[in-house]
Structure 1
Amino acid sequence: MGQPRYVVIAGDLMQKIAAERWPVGELLPTEPELAAEYGVSRETLRRSLRRLEVAGLISRHPGTGTRVERSTPVAAFTTHLGSVEDLTQYGEAAVRSVLSVEPITVDAELSAVTGLAEGARQVCVTSTRRDPGSPDEVVSWARVYLEPGDAKAVAGDLAEESGRLIADSIEARTGRAVDRVVQQVRAVGVPAEAAAHLGVESGSPGLEFVRRYYDASGALFEVTVSTHAGDRFVYETVLQRR
C-alpha cells in the first residue's frame, strides 16, 4: 500500500526546498497554486504543509504567506497542538511502536496522576514514538490507559506500527468519539524506564504530558501519560487574537 498523497507531496516539497527551489526567506507559491500544481484539494495541500511546519522548514503567516525558514529539518521534534484535530497531526508526525499491553488495577498514585477511579480495571499500553525524519530517535515514551472493552476492540491496530492515534482507532472500531481533551504539562526527571528508550540519563530534565480524552457524554475513556527528553522536544502554542 502506497503512502497517502499528502505525505508524498510533503516529501516532494521538502526535496525542492533542500534543492533551494525556494531559498530560505522566500515565500512558497500560494496554497491554491500549489494545490493546482499537485492536482489535490487545498485541505490535502494544507496537511502536506503541516508536515513541513512540524519539521521546521516553513512558517505560515495569515495575510503574508508561507515562508521558507530552513533548508533541512530541525533536530528537535516540534509539535503544535491547538485543537482536537491537531492531535491527528501529532500522530502523523510521530510513529507509534507498542512495547507491551497488560491489564492493571488503578492504584491511588496512578489515580492522582490520571484522574481514573482508584480500583478501576484498565489496560495499560506502553509505547514509544519515533520521528520519521530520524527513525532511530525515540521522541517520546508513553503509557496509555484504556477501558478493557476499547483495548480489545483496537488490539489489531495496536499490533502494527502506526501514526494513528489510539483515540482515532477507538472511534473507528466502536463509534466512541473524542469530544474534548484536557492536557496538563509539567517538568519532570525522566523515569528510568523512559530514559532507557529515550537514550538519556535517568532523572535528566524532561516534559510529561497527561492527556485525558472525554467522549460526548463526558466519560473519561482514555488517558495518555507521555514523557519527552527536554533537550529534543519543542512544544509550541500559538495564541491568536480573535
Structure 2
Amino acid sequence: MEKRYAIVARALAEAIAEGRHPVGSVLPNEFELADQFAVSRSTVRAAMRELQASGLVSRKRNAGTRVEARTPDRSGSGFTQALATIEAVQQFGTETERHVQRVADVVTDNQLADELGCRPGRRWLCISSLRMIPGDATRTPICWTDVYLDAAFADEVRARMAGHHEIFGTLIEKISGRRIAEIRQDISAVGVPAQMAEPLKATAGAHALSIRRQYLFASNEMAEVSLSIHPADRYRYSTRLTRQQSKG
C-alpha cells in the first residue's frame, strides 16, 4: 500500500507539472495542506521532503515552500538548498538526518588551520557525520561533514548532542546564550577524498563540491566551522538574484 505522504507528494507533483502551482510560486502552508489532504502536519512535512529531494521545491524557514521546477530532477539522489539567511542554513538540519561517524578533540596543525581559516594550535571538538534525506530508500548520503566546534563548548556539546537534530550552530547559541551573527561560506570544486568514498557510496576522485561555512558571533569570534563534501550528482545550490531598484 502506498504511504500517505507519498500520495500527497504525488498529488502535489502532478499539480506542479500541470501548472496549478507555477515555478516561482509558493505552495500552501503545512496547515492548509494538512486540511486539504486530511492528513497530519508530519505527513505533509514528509511529502515536502520527497518533493525537495526530487528538485521540485525548495524550503526556507518563515518563507514557505517555493516551486523550483515543473518536472523532477532525474540526475540522481539529490538535495537542493536555497540559502539567503542564517535561518535558512539552520533549516538544513531539520530537513536531513545526521548519522555521526566520529567525535574527537583536535588541535589544528598548519594545514588544518588553513582549511578552517583559523590560527594553528587552536583546539576544537570535531564531529564527523553523514547527512541523509529522510525516507530515501537507497540510504545514499548527500554529504560528509566535519563540524569543528570551539573547544570551550566541547563538554556541553558532548552531553547534549544526542538529542539535538538541528545544525550545531543552534546548540552553540543555546549553550553560550549568544547569537550567530554571520556565516561566511566558500564553495569549491574538488574530488571525493579516498577516505570518504566508501561511506559516501561514491568513487574516489569523482567530482564533488566542498563547502566551508564559518559561524561567527557579533564580536567576529569564530564559534564553529563546517567542512562538507557533496558528490556532484547529489547536491544543487540555488540562489535568486534580483535587480536593485534605482533611486529617484
Taking structure 1 as the reference length, the TM-score comes to 0.77
224-233 vs 143-152, which deviates more? 143-152
* 1:86-111 CA-partner distances (Å, limit 9, x unpaired): 10222122211111111111010011
The C-alpha deviation readout for 1:54-106, integer Å capped at 9, x for no partner, is 6423479xxxx958724799732222211111102221222111111111110
Give the structure 2 partner of residue 87 of structure 1.
89
Query: 3-state DSSP class of the match of 2:103?
Result: strand
Partner of 2:146: 143
Q: Given the superposition, is the C-alpha separation of residues 12 and 167 from structure 1 closer, same or farther in structure 2, using an over 3 Å criterion?
A: farther
The residue number in structure 2 matching 1:202 is: 204
Closer/same/farther in 2, CA of residues 203 and 70 from structure 1, 3 Å limit? same
Q: Which residue identity does 2:144 align to in structure 1?
A: W
Q: How does 1:1-242 map to 2 (within 5 A)?
A: 13-17=8-12, 20=14, 22=15, 24-28=17-21, 35-36=31-32, 38=34, 51=49, 52-53=51-52, 55-58=54-57, 69-70=70-71, 75-134=77-136, 136-160=139-163, 163-242=165-244
Distance 1:146 1:132 in 2: 25
1:98·1:127 contact (CA, 8 Å) conserved in 2?
A: yes
Amino acid in structure 1 at the alignment position of 2:70? E
Which range moves more in the overlay, 22-31 or 83-92? 22-31
| Alpha-carbon shift at residue 137 of structure 1 (Å) | 0.9
Q: Secondary structure at 1:138's aligned position in 2?
A: coil
How many residues are matched? 224
Question: Structure 1 vs Structure 2: percent identity of aligned residues?
Answer: 29
122-131 or 72-81, larger mean C-alpha shift: 72-81
Would the alpha carbon gap of residues 50 and 157 (structure 1) be closer, same or farther in structure 2, given more than 3 Å must change?
A: farther
Q: CA deviation at 1:17?
A: 2.2
Give the drift of 1:27.
Answer: 2.1
If the length of structure 2 is used for normalisation, what is the TM-score?
Answer: 0.76
User: Gapped runs of 5+ residues in structure 1?
Assistant: 1-8
Q: Which amino acid aligns with 1:145?
A: Y
Name the Cα RMSD after superposition: 3.5
The CA distance in 2 between the partners of 1:129 and 1:166, in whole Å, is 13
